[in-house]
Amino acid sequence: MQLFLLIGQSNMEGAPKPAPEDLVENPRVRVLGYDNFGDRKWNEWDVAAPPLHRAWAGVGPGDGFGKAMAEAWPDATIGLVPCAISGVDIDFFLKGVTSTRRKEFQIPPDNAQGSAYDMVIERARLAQKVGVIRGILFHQGESDTGNPAWVGKVQRMVGDLRADLGLDNSVPFVAGELLHSGCCAAHNPLVQQLPTKIPNAHVVSAAGLNAPADPPDPYNAHFDLPSQRELGRRYATSMLQALGAP
């Protein structure tokens, strides 16, 4: 199984509800359960279909990414490892750090861990028993908009993930821009700095993507359904280029 970690906040979880076409399954795209609903169980593999994260979430870029990767890589089984938490700041994903906002959010499965970093490592190591981590997808920054320390913190997170999971710099790290027309667009210059600080890091453009119009997004921070589909395809294009695959 070719494994990909999905890390970030609400846009990685996904806000828009799926249409019937989004629910069409590909048996070669699997997801490590993040919530208990239907046949989906925490830390158990299932055929991927939205939501990939919590039961109340919607379509995130992981959905379109998984389908596009499977289409481009016909001999592979794609394994998605969702690890995003809506609303959190980057400190939630730092090793050995407890965010000052820790009490505001629940870390699956039982809110017992002090850091989401520990949750990511636990799930990634479980996934490594059946596959190989080939890449990391990242979409976060809305809760850290404009904070110049964010770039260094993301750099630290990636370095720790690679070290603790036995990954070298050949494993790509792909980050996505925030909505160009949204509340957090001013953060994108910081996102663009990541490839200058992190080996084998790449940035996916959010140019031309939109927030929901009906009903409108009160924060103008989330991607609408067509944009989430396109964002997922852009992540796949970037990841495939970085991997030189198939």
Cα 16 to Cα 8: distance, rounded to the nearest angstrom:
16
Residue 216 forms beta bridges with which residues?
213
Q: Which amino acid is at 224?
A: D
**Which residue from 36, 25, 30 is spatially nearest to 4, judged by alpha carbons?**
30
pLDDT at 246: 62
Name the average pLDDT for the chain.
Answer: 96
- The enclosing domain of 25 has a CATH number of 3.40.50.1110
Cα 113 to Cα 240: distance, rounded to the nearest angstrom:
34
Could you list the residue range(s) of the whole structural domain that residue 43 is in? Answer: 2-243
Longest alpha-carbon distance in the chain: 45
Neighbouring CB atoms inside 10 A of 161's CB total 22
Tell me the pLDDT tens digit for each residue of 72-107.
999 999 999 999 999 999 999 999 999 999 999 999
Cα 11 to Cα 14: distance, rounded to the nearest angstrom:
5
Q: How far is CA 70 from the centre of its chain?
A: 17
Averaged pLDDT for residues 121-133: 98
Cα 168 to Cα 236: distance, rounded to the nearest angstrom:
20
Helix (H, G, I), strand (E, B) or coil at 201: strand
Per-residue buried b or exposed e for 42-80, using 16+ beta carbons within 10 Å of the residue's own CB:
eeebeebbbbbbbeebbbbbbbbbbbbbbeebeebbbbb
Tell me the pLDDT tens digit for each residue of 174-194.
999 999 988 899 999 999 999
Q: How confident is the model at residue 215 (pLDDT cuts 50, 70, 90)?
A: confident
Tell me the pLDDT tens digit for each residue of 23-52.
999 999 999 999 999 989 999 999 999 999
Q: How confident is the model at residue 216 (pLDDT cuts 50, 70, 90)?
A: confident
Residues 6 or more apart in contact with residue 111 via CB below 8 angstroms? none
**Structural domain total, the chain:** 1
Neighbouring CB atoms inside 10 A of 33's CB total 20
Q: Give the H/E segment covering residue 204.
A: strand 201-204
Cα 196 to Cα 14: distance, rounded to the nearest angstrom:
28
Averaged pLDDT for residues 205-213: 94
What is the edge-to-edge ordering of all strands in the sheet holding 29-32? 45-47, 29-32, 78-82, 2-8, 132-139, 173-176, 201-204
| CB-based contact 139:176 (threshold 8 Å) | yes
